[in-house]
Amino acid sequence: MPDKDRELALGAARGDLRAFSALMDRYKDRGMGLAFRILRNREDAEEALQDAFVRTFRGLAGFKGNSKFGTWFFRILYNVCATKAGQRRPVADEHPEDDAESIDAGLSQIPDDTPQPDILLETNEFYRIVSEAIDDLPVIYRDPVLLFLVQDFSYEEVSEVLGLSVPSVKTRIFRARALLRITVRRRLDWSPTRSETVVDEGDEA
């Protein structure tokens, strides 16, 4: 963990309330961002963040500094948010993990050698579309992507927060990116040119 995080966490574990307050200040914005993206309600997100800070404080007595404080905290926060979201999310909203065939089918319709949407449209509108597309992903893909792309966590950190193996995390992020690629291009009303279509048909022959 960063030296400052480690110093503050160990101080808070010894009962230093100012150190814990400093930790809260360091993580409240990122924590609120993640909680809001998962719960999609500011009041619920604020409640989840406060609950996570309380649980973190209670667990600090056993914190030895052997792992990153941030990863440890975000795992607590994620579990709080997942529990709260599970109380409100209908079972019908859950998506099966193994939908690779539908993803591959969508990808096969998009030429691999065409410019990416972020090259075609580097504007606030593009980032808004991407953000909305992330929020609309199935939960099992959305949450790893939020941690990996938005929170800038490594595969290993995402694995620790979500309680998944690193290969599972990589697979979910790969599939999430595939879904995002399809969704974003559709929302940009993007379609391959005639010449690209001809090339593709020639390749298939």
pTM score of the predicted model: 0.72
Residues 120, 83 share a domain: no
For residue range 164-174, what is the model confidence (pLDDT) as tens digits? 999 999 999 99
Domain boundary residue, one of 91, 113, 138 = 91
**Residue 39: partners with Cβ closer than 8 Å, 6 or more residues away:** 45, 48, 81, 84, 85
For residue range 3-27, what is the model confidence (pLDDT) as tens digits? 788 889 888 888 889 999 999 999 9
Question: Which of 108, 142, 129, 135 has the alpha carbon at shortest distance from 188?
Answer: 129
Domain boundary residue, one of 91, 122, 138 = 91
Residues 76, 126 share a domain: no
Mean pLDDT to the nearest integer, 178-195:
71
Quote the number of domains for the chain: 2
pLDDT number for residue 190: 56
* AA letter at 137: L
For residue 116, what are the domain limits? 100-204
Mean pLDDT to the nearest integer, 166-193:
83
CATH number at residue 120: 1.10.10.10
Residue linked to tokens 């940009």? 188
Mean pLDDT to the nearest integer, 49-74:
86
Question: Is residue 114 pLDDT above 70, yes or no?
Answer: no
When mean pLDDT is compared across 7-21, 33-47, 102-116, 183-197, the lowest value belongs to 102-116
CATH number at residue 40: 1.10.1740.10
For 189, what's the count of Cα atoms within 13 Å in the CB-facing half-sphere? 0
Residues 107, 78 share a domain: no
Cβ atoms of 154 and 162 closer than 8 Å: no
Question: Is residue 91 pLDDT above 60, yes or no?
Answer: no
Residues 116, 52 share a domain: no
Residues 56, 120 share a domain: no
Question: Is residue 110 pLDDT above 60, yes or no?
Answer: no
pLDDT number for residue 200: 38
Rounded to whole angstroms, the Cα distance separating 129 from 11 reads 42
- Residue 40 or residue 201, greater confidence: 40
Residues 81, 118 share a domain: no
Residues 174, 125 share a domain: yes
Domain boundary residue, one of 91, 122, 147 = 91
Percent pLDDT > 90 in the chain is: 46
pLDDT number for residue 25: 95
What tokens appear for 35 in the block? 């909680």
Cβ atoms of 158 and 104 closer than 8 Å: no
Residues 39, 126 share a domain: no
Residue 101 pLDDT level (bands cut at 50, 70, 90)? very low
Residues 106, 67 share a domain: no
Residues 112, 48 share a domain: no
The rounded mean pLDDT for the chain is 77
**Residue 166: partners with Cβ closer than 8 Å, 6 or more residues away:** 155, 156, 159
